[in-house]
Each structure stands twice: as structure tokens, then as C-alpha cells.
Amino acid sequence: MKTAKKKSAPRTSAAKANVRTPAPHARAVLSDLLVSGGARLVDLTQTLSPDFPTIVLPPEFGQCRPFRMEEISRYDERGPGWYWNNVSFGEHSGTHFDAPIHWISGRDLPYNSVDTLPTAHFIAPACVIDCGAQAKADADFLLTTALIKRWEERHGRIPAGAWVLMRTDWSKRNDPIAYQNLDDTGQHTPGPDPDCVRFLVNERDVLGFGTETIGTDAGQAAHFAPPYPCHYYMHGAGKYGLQCLCNLDLLPATGALIVAAPLKILQGSGSPLRVFAIVPAK
Amino acid sequence: MVFWGKTVSQVAKRPKRKNPIERTQLPTLPPATRSRVALGLTAAAARGRFELQVCRDCGAVQYPPREVCRACLSQRLLWRRQDGAGALISDTILRVAQELFFRERLPWRIGNVRLDSDVNVIAYVHDSVGAPPCRIRIEAALDRAGQAVLVAMPERGRPALSDDPKLREMTCDPRGRKILVTDGKSAIGQASARALAAVGSDLIWIGIAEPWKKAAGFDGLRELPQAKVVPLDVTDSSSVRELAGEIGGKVDIVVNTNDCHRAFSLAARRGVETAQLEMDINYFGLLRLAQEFAPALKARAADGAANAIAWVNVLSIFALANYPPHGTYSASKAAAWSLSQNLRADLQPAGVRVINLFPGPIDDEWDQLEMPPKLSPAALAAALVGALKGSVEDVYPGDVAQDWLARNLESPKTLERELGETGR
């Protein structure tokens, strides 16, 4: 990787962090992997397909275009020796990355769009918080600061610059109706509560927050104060989002490295991406 | 008594299944060649009207259509609506024909009719018309070639064309047919499915896109005995292709109810996203459906009594002239209208009819700010069924549609100015 050749610079805040080497913690994990004799890769990405749902907004708002694919040619008269497609999608479709510029709270930050975000952030350690049982029992389950602290008692303090991934097993809902889980009061999917987001941003200086659901916020987060707190606080502090992740159940609570490099779209607010984890082999 | 989820009477109406080892017949058409002036008869019949030329100078009614008046040689002949009243003078049974279409369908009853407007016409005779001489009423209909023909109907009573087994081919009667309603989520799609079920269609596939967004009333459709819900998103080529692969060879009538209506003028909405969505559903949706379903329809156009027979598009009167408060929607419907003419040209050689409906404002959420009169979805569905049971191509249901149509026929430029300056 070209970026690894550059000299390291101390990582401070997301705002100043246009550095070109992985964070110290990430480097430590990488060298651990080397000495331990290997690692396995876990794909955390859903397949981009026309059937995969996109976020639902009232119809008078602009809409995220779902993934669509139109054949250019398939070894036929339109192109005799080759097969290819034109694809179209919104920046926030499928398994995707949210950059700070996505939200109004992050609109004036430096390096806030996917084309400018620091390459050092492409690889970062992950803390996986298992909320599978709670989300199964309550679709509107909210992750709280208390639960984060209980997790830290078992697994250690969440390091600065880490992804916090909320495992809910929501990605196992293969039926898009169950995945969206809409009724006439809106969507019912788990997410973090506002105080939890503030804690992760202010007390833990995380890199970002990732979920298996269609957004980083809970389904009912439009009614929170502020609305969509995970978007509002995370992006306001230069943090990122990952959503529609899968296979979080294959990750250890700590020790995995997340590789998440969005497409380099000029002034892009996010993008679908191939995101995967490097997990130390046991 | 219920049999496989259907009542006995519904099952009884279903045509006998065809023998799968027999070759599917290819469609033949009645003679379709018409002079340019004779197409005036077709133009009126396509809207369900019987018109003949009338001399502006001497008032003589003309038949067959011609360049100059049969009485005074004036060239000023105007197409005018006729009431069709007349008398059947004589009739005969055609038993030998060289034309393949007639040869396959012999015998045919035809008659010599004296219209009260003082012209003689040769017409098909509905089998409910008694022996001549008797009073009859002439109607214009479209034959399978899409051309105007005249039919002698009884003076009293209003039997349907399809009550006559031969003339049934001039209609697209949905009774006993297998029908795809492409969008069951909209009020129009739901009303259409219900209306088609009520007139005895055999099977109704009801398309549903984005099933995670629940639509009011949709679940009720599942209770229709003929209904089968199928995934269909016309913005997704693979979805259309998959459904066509699955049921394309079974569909007799496609009813394209897909409609994306956002009430914006071009100045009232920044960007093109919303307009693209309208275009993707209203125009490209029709294109995708046509590319995937039309070939199968053509192949089954002569497939016995339950053949592939029609394609219906729910367009909008806004397609005729841009209605600025709904400017981008109007444009998408105009595009769909244009493409439907391509589809008609494509399906016509097989005898499959394309019917376009041009309703005015619908009584739904996107026409909320439109003043009445507004067409209820049920009224639109009734017009749709009526169009299939009748013999027309273009339907303008409701007062607003009729008004716009008349104004547009009179002067498209005047209508454009009126819509631009003062609203409808």
C-alpha cells in the first residue's frame, strides 16, 4: 500500500488527522497478527443487489436510489466478446460508509467527505458489542452507556480511534420486510440511544459506529432528542458510520481490524464499499 | 361450492385447456389496408365514436370515406359523429373466403344497411339482430387489425359485442382471461384488480414492488379468489425479466398501472432526482415491461379462446399538454404515451390491442390540491374494464379528460396557453 511508505505522524483528532499511516493501535494489532502466525478475513459486506432495501423516507423527500444494474452487453450484438453492466445507486445503499459531511452537523469539518478522509482511517480496530439477544427480544432495543461500560468491564476500555460495532444479528433477517420492520408508526430496528452516542464520541473518541441495520441510528430515532443522534453527534465530531454490515457474529469482541475504504467520490457523503475484518487466527 | 379456491361458476367459464402437443396457431389479421382518408373512420372508432364525413356545403353524409362530396363535389368534408340509426335491408352468410382471417372463422354474417342519413353501408351483423328488414343501430368497432369496421347492433337493448362469439374478437373481454396488473399498491391498481375480478377474469397476477413499504388496502387484494401476488419492480430490469420468464407465456392481458406522480413544476423542485424517478417508473417502466412481455404476448395472440389479446396503459390527460403544476409528471406521461404508440405498432401485426387511458386528476394524495371534479380510482377501473369489453384504443374517462381532449382537438396551442397562464 502506497500509504504505508510514508512517515508516521502522531494521530490526534479526526479533524487534524490527515495522516498516512495506521494508528499506533492498529499497527500493534498488525504486528500481533504477524507473530501469532496468521489471520483470517471475514467479509462484513452484503451483496449489492436490486432486492436489497434502501432507507425509507416520506415520499415528498428526495429518495436514495436503490442499487440497479443494466446490462451493457453480454457476448452479444451489443458487444460480442464481453459482458459488463452499468450500475446506479445512492451513496447510502447496500453496506455503506457514512462520512461526516453526510450530516448537517459535520458539514463544515475538514476532511469530511469520502474523497478527503484520512487514509489512516481505512484500517482500525473494532470493538464488537453483542446485542443479539436484546435485539431479538425487542426490535426497538437501544444500546446505552451503562451497557457499554458493562462491556468494558469484560473486554477492556474501548480504545480511541476504534470502530464500535453493534452486533444485533439483524443482518440474518433475509426477508427484506423483516429487515426493514416497518409498521404505520415507522421503522423498528435497534440502535444507540443519544447518551450512548455522546459517551462514545466524547469519552472514548471512537472512529465511528457500525450497525447491521439500515442506519446507524435506531428505527425510531427521528423521535429522539436530537433526532438521529448517532448521525448528529458522530458526524458532528468527524466520526464515521458503517451500516448494513453482516457477519458481526464471526468477530471477536476485540482484536479484529476493520478495513473500510469508501469509494473516492468527489465531495461524496458516503459510499457502498467492500468492508472486511482481519481476525487473528487462534 | 369452492373448487381450488374458486367458485364453480368461475371454473366453468374457463376455456378448455389446450392440448400441449398441438402447435400454437399464428395470428392472422383481417385486411388492414386503408386509404389515408379512410383512416378517419379508424381515428373516431379508436375513441369509441362512429363518425362519417359530412359535406360542409350541401350537408350530404358520405360513405365510404372519400375526397370529394358524392352530391356536390365539394372538398370540404368534415368528420362528424353519427347516431348510427338505420335499417338492415338484407343479410347474407359468407361461407367462402380467400382472406386467411375470414377463412379460419367462417361462416360470417354480413348485412346491407341503409342509414337514416341516406347512405348504404356493409356491416357485420351482431347475432342478436333479427332477420331483415328491421331497425338497427350501426356502431364503429376496431377489428383485430386495429382498423374501423361497422357493426349492426339491435336498435333496442344494449348487448355487448362480446356476446356474439365472432365479434368477441373485436373486444378484449377480460372474462376468462389471465391478467397481470403491474402495480397492486396504488389505489388505481387495487381498483383495477377488483374490477377485473368482478367481471370474471380467470387469474390476476398483482405486482408488488418494495414489499417492505406497506400500502393501504393491499392485503385486502389477497382475498380475491383470482389474485396471486407476484414481486415486480418496474425500475429493476432483472425483476421484470424474471417475472416475464415465469408468467410471460401465460399472460393474456397486461394492465400497466405503474405510476409515479410527484406534484412539482420544474421550478418547484431543485435537481432531477424526482423527475428521474417519475421517468424511471412511467417511461422506462413501460419500456422494460414491453421489452420483456410483448414478445410472449405476440407469440400467443392466436392461442385459442384464451389468447393473449391486450395491453392497457394508465396514462394521464397531462400527457396531452403539459400541466405546469405537475410539469415533470406531465413530461413523463407524454414520454410513456409516445412509447405506447411504438408498442402499438409492435403488437398490431399480431392483433394484440394497446389501450391507453388518459384520466384527468385522480382523487388521490398527489392530486390533493386539484379542484374537483376528480376521478375516483373505482371510476377509472370501470373505464378500464369498459374499454376491454368494448372496442377502443384511447379512453378519456371523466369530465376533465373529456374537456381537455375537446380543447386539445380544437387547438393544442390554445390549451397550452390556458394551462400555462390560468391553470386548468
Reply yes or no on whether the pLDDT at A129 is more than 80.
Answer: yes
Q: What would the pLDDT profile of B75-119 be if each residue is shown by its tens digit?
A: 999 999 999 999 999 999 999 999 999 999 999 999 999 999 999
Residue B397 lies in a domain: yes
HEC string for A149-179: HHHHHHHCCCCCCCEEEEECCHHHCCCHHHH
Work out the minimum CA distance from A177 to partner chain B, whole angstroms.
4
Residue B251 lies in a domain: yes
Decide the pairing of beta strands B310-314 and B253-256.
parallel
Residues B277-297: what's their mean pLDDT? 98
3-state secondary structure of A192: strand
Q: With an 8 Å Cβ cutoff, are A69 and B214 in contact?
A: no
Residues B133, B88 contacting (CB under 8 angstroms) = yes
Q: Using a CB-CB distance cutoff of 8 angstroms, which residues of chain A are in contact with residue B239?
A: 50-51
Interface test with A, best of B210, B259, B288, B366 (most A CBs within 10 A): B210
Single-letter amino acid, residue A126: A
Mutual angle of helices B377-389 and B187-198, in 10-degree steps: 40
Q: Classify domain A2-63+91-280 at the CATH superfamily level.
A: Putative cyclase (3.50.30.50)
Single-letter amino acid, residue A18: N
In the prediction, which pLDDT does B157 show? 85
Whether B133 and chain A come into contact, CB under 8 Å, resolves to no
Single-letter amino acid, residue B275: A
Q: Using a CB-CB distance cutoff of 8 angstroms, which residues of chain B are in contact with residue A51?
A: 239
In the prediction, which pLDDT does B16 show? 78
Beta partners for residue A167, in sequence order: A130
Q: Are residues B309 and B184 in the same domain?
A: yes
CATH number of the domain enclosing B212? 3.40.50.720
- Using the 3D structure, point to which of B114, B140, B170 is the last residue of a domain: B170
Q: Are residues B367 and B317 in the same domain?
A: yes
Q: Are residues B237 and B363 in the same domain?
A: yes
Q: With an 8 Å Cβ cutoff, are A176 and B273 in contact?
A: no
Residues A108-133: what's their mean pLDDT? 97
Residue B72 lies in a domain: yes
Single-letter amino acid, residue A43: D
Work out the minimum CA distance from A10 to partner chain B, whole angstroms.
42
Confidence at B14, pLDDT banded by 50, 70, 90: low
Q: Shortest CA distance to A125 belongs to which of A212, A19, A17, A207?
A: A207
In the prediction, which pLDDT does A29 show? 66
Q: Are residues B403 and B336 in the same domain?
A: yes
Number of domains making up chain B: 2
Q: Using a CB-CB distance cutoff of 8 angstroms, which residues of chain A are in contact with residue B212?
A: 53, 56, 176-177, 179-180, 182
In the prediction, which pLDDT does B104 show? 94
Q: Are residues B158 and B188 in the same domain?
A: no
Residues A157-184: what's their mean pLDDT? 97
Residue B12 lies in a domain: no
3-state secondary structure of B298: helix
Please give the biggest Cα pair distance in chain A. Answer: 64
- The cell numbers describing A129, all together, are 458489542
Q: With an 8 Å Cβ cutoff, are A183 and B214 in contact?
A: yes
Reply yes or no on whether the pLDDT at A181 is more than 90.
Answer: yes
In the prediction, which pLDDT does B45 show? 98
- The cell numbers describing B64, all together, are 365510404
Rounded to an integer, what is the distance from CA A201 to the centroid of its chain? 15
Q: With an 8 Å Cβ cutoff, are A177 and B237 in contact?
A: no
Instruction: Give domain limits for chain A.
Output: 2-63+91-280
Residues A110-128: what's their mean pLDDT? 97
Q: With an 8 Å Cβ cutoff, are B212 and A53 in contact?
A: yes
Q: What would the pLDDT profile of B256-279 be if each residue is shown by its tens digit?
A: 999 999 999 999 999 999 999 999
Residues B46, B142 contacting (CB under 8 angstroms) = yes
Q: Which residues of A are catalytic?
A: 102
Give the span between the Cα atoms of B371 and B356, in whole angstroms. 24
- The cell numbers describing B100, all together, are 386467411
Q: Shortest CA distance to B251 belongs to which of B317, B320, B299?
A: B299
Residue B267 lies in a domain: yes
Q: Are residues B165 and B259 in the same domain?
A: no
Q: Are residues B157 and B193 in the same domain?
A: no
Reply yes or no on whether the pLDDT at A19 is more than 90.
Answer: no
Residue B368 lies in a domain: yes
Rounded to an integer, what is the distance from CA A191 to the centroid of its chain? 13
Q: Using a CB-CB distance cutoff of 8 angstroms, which residues of chain B are in contact with residue A53?
A: 210, 212
Residues 6+ apart with CB under 8 A from A158: A127, A148, A152, A164, A200, A204, A206
Domain residues for the domain of B51 are 44-170
- Using the 3D structure, point to which of B136, B170, B204 is the last residue of a domain: B170
In the prediction, which pLDDT does B98 show? 94
Reply yes or no on whether the pLDDT at A26 is more than 80.
Answer: no
Q: What would the pLDDT profile of B192-203 be if each residue is shown by its tens digit?
A: 999 999 999 999
Task: State the average pLDDT for chain B.
Answer: 94
User: In terms of pLDDT, which residue wins out, B156 or A113?
Assistant: A113
Work out the minimum CA distance from B234 to partner chain A, whole angstroms.
11
Work out the minimum CA distance from B214 to partner chain A, whole angstroms.
8
Give the span between the Cα atoms of B185 and B193, in whole angstroms. 11
User: In terms of pLDDT, which residue wins out, A34 or B26?
Assistant: B26
Q: Please, what sign has the CA dihedral across residues B66, B71, B75, B76?
A: negative
Rounded to an integer, what is the distance from CA B386 to the centroid of its chain? 9
Q: Are residues B197 and B266 in the same domain?
A: yes
Residues A126-151: what's their mean pLDDT? 98
- The cell numbers describing A44, all together, are 462484513
This model's pTM is above 0.90: yes
Between chain A and chain B, how many beta carbons pairs sit less than 8 Å apart? 39
Q: Are residues B196 and B159 in the same domain?
A: no
Residue B411 lies in a domain: yes
Residue B36 lies in a domain: no
Give the span between the Cα atoms of A176 and B209, in whole angstroms. 12
- Using the 3D structure, point to which of B154, B170, B186 is the last residue of a domain: B170
Q: Are residues B323 and B200 in the same domain?
A: yes
